[in-house]
Amino acid sequence: MAEKENNTNKLDEEKYERELTTDLDDETRDKPKGVPLHTRIFIGLIVGVVVGLIVNKMFPGYTEVAWVIKNFTEPIGRLFLNLLLMIVVPLVFSSLVVGVAGIGDVRKLGRVGLKSFAYCLVVSAISVVIGLMLANTIQPGKKIDDATAKALQAQNQSKAKTEVESATAATSSDSPLMQVVNTIVPKNPVASIAGIVSGKGNSNDSPNMLHLMFFALMVGIAITLLPEPVSAPFVRGMNALYYITAKLIDLIMKFAPFAVACLLFNNIAVFGLNLLQSLAWFVAVVLVGLSLQMFGVYSLSVYFLSRINPIEFFSRVKTVILTAFSTSSSNATLPTALRVSEENLGVPKEINSFVLTVGATANQNGTALYEGVTVLFLAQLAGIELTMMQQLSVVYLAILGGIGTAGVPSGSIPFIIGILAMIKVDTGLIAIILGVDRILDMCRTTLNVVGDLTAATFVARSEGYELLKTHEDIVLEPTPETR
């Protein structure tokens, strides 16, 4: 009787807590009152697109429109992105440390890591193959006339020059193995967090997430090898930091619908639909490939591997999809993905923390597909026929690119430039796709983030956890670890 009363009190506390937060957990039984968050974000998205199209049609090229974007809507959108990115470093570090410590066994951690890596590798390979098959079948590069290609190239020539120079400056003379070591293992974790480039002393304001994750992983492993009395105070501190960042997510997401409207307006008001029409074949190939991966490969994955109805899965991650689409950043979407995965899908925190934080950088199926299609498209445009061996090398490099590409808007552009240079295609051709890159970035980021969620559900199911549990079920029925 006392145990039942204790469980009731816990449930009441959980209910009270959720009433104070946003409705990221809007699929739970006692969902918060009012319009759900994903609905408000969707309304903001529609408002941004419609108003952007009207402004682009009625006031094309007006300086007043550029002034409004520069002084109002762009700062509002950037504020939202910066607020989300602000908490990524403490969130990633605390969640990985707590997640690895929660797993508690190095052998189990190795098993979870191996499953995650194998899943990401296979799914990324499938995505690139889908993209290359579509690009070879439809051949979008041969469907654009020279005049349109030259006009597009001239339109973004200065921006392309900057991108090419940055990508060239970033190339290293180290051996491939040494590059892998330098990419993953930090010399100075603090410098990596600050975005300071080793040996150059300058900062790009973007933390090196792979370095941060490796350091957090090492700290977590060390915790599992220490006696609990020694490590417990540090783990409690990291757990507190995790919940503090979770509360910040609640506050920031209240601002999401307004920011989403501004982010969409900024792109649509400037470009409209004319640019999409000019590159219609390229855009179509990318979108078809992303759709096949999203609704074909992912649906099969969650149905057969995670044993979740695909319709149920997609309905429970609506907030993540809309956040990823509007921000174009896997890193900025990570806080929302962590909350939704735990609360709506029932993935335990220790699995969640490991798979999603690593996946935000290392599992980018949409980016891999996009890189493969873009390279073939630009090669076709240049009149260069790639051999089967060259296309296989593109597959290999695109998979690596999906792992190494930064989880920020347009993070794949430097990697595409590198592949173009390797296969002797004029790197200046990157200017042709820069205009539509941001819009397609929104779509491929959505695929990337949903791919991370499918990986988390697969790993959790393979470890024996029951998914789609609500908070109520979790309190009343202990997980396999506590039985």
Residue for token digits 């070879």? 136
Q: What is the mean pLDDT of residues 141-157?
A: 77
Q: What pLDDT score does 139 carry?
A: 93
Q: Domain residues for 375? A: 22-476
Buried b (16+ CB within 10 A) or exposed e, 393-414: ebbebbbbbbbbbbbbbbbbbb
Percent of the chain scoring above 90 in pLDDT: 34
**Angle 51-55-59 from CA coordinates, rounded to 5°:** 175
Domain count, the chain: 1
The answer on pLDDT for 480 being more than 60 is no
Q: What is the mean pLDDT of residues 153-177?
A: 65
User: Which structure tokens are listed for 368?
Assistant: 């891999």
Q: What pLDDT score does 204 carry?
A: 59
Q: What pLDDT score does 320 carry?
A: 94
- Partners of 196 in the beta sheet? 203
Does any domain span residue 371? yes
Does any domain span residue 3? no
Percent of the chain scoring above 70 in pLDDT: 80
Does any domain span residue 455? yes
The answer on pLDDT for 387 being more than 80 is yes
Q: What pLDDT score does 291 carry?
A: 97
Buried b (16+ CB within 10 A) or exposed e, 416-453: bbbbbeebebebbbbbbbbbbbbbbbbbbbbbbbbbbb
Q: How many residues does the chain have?
A: 483
Does any domain span residue 13? no
Give the C-alpha distances (Å, rounded to integers) separating 81 from 74, 260, 409.
11, 10, 10
Does any domain span residue 1? no
Give the C-alpha distances (Å, rounded to integers) separating 357 from 67, 96, 97, 381.
38, 7, 11, 37
Q: What is the enclosing helix (H) or strand (E) of 253?
A: helix 228-253
Does any domain span residue 9? no
Does any domain span residue 51? yes
pLDDT band, very low/low/confident/very high, at 372 (cuts 50, 70, 90)? very high
Q: What is the mean pLDDT of residues 135-146?
A: 89
For the entire predicted model, the pTM comes to 0.80
pLDDT in tens, 84-138: 888 888 988 998 898 888 887 778 888 999 999 999 999 999 999 999 999 999 9
Q: What is the mean pLDDT of residues 237-263?
A: 90
Angle between helices 349-362 and 209-224 (to 10 degrees): 150
User: Which structure tokens are listed for 209?
Assistant: 């997430």
Residue 49 CA to residue 51 CA, distance in Å, equals: 6
Q: What pLDDT score does 14 carry?
A: 46
Does any domain span residue 481? no
**Most confident of the ranges 30-44, 261-275, 292-306, 407-421:** 292-306
Residue 130, SS3? helix
Q: What pLDDT score does 324 carry?
A: 92
- Report which DSSP code applies to 196: B
Kindly report the CATH number assigned to the domain that includes residue 86: 1.10.3860.10
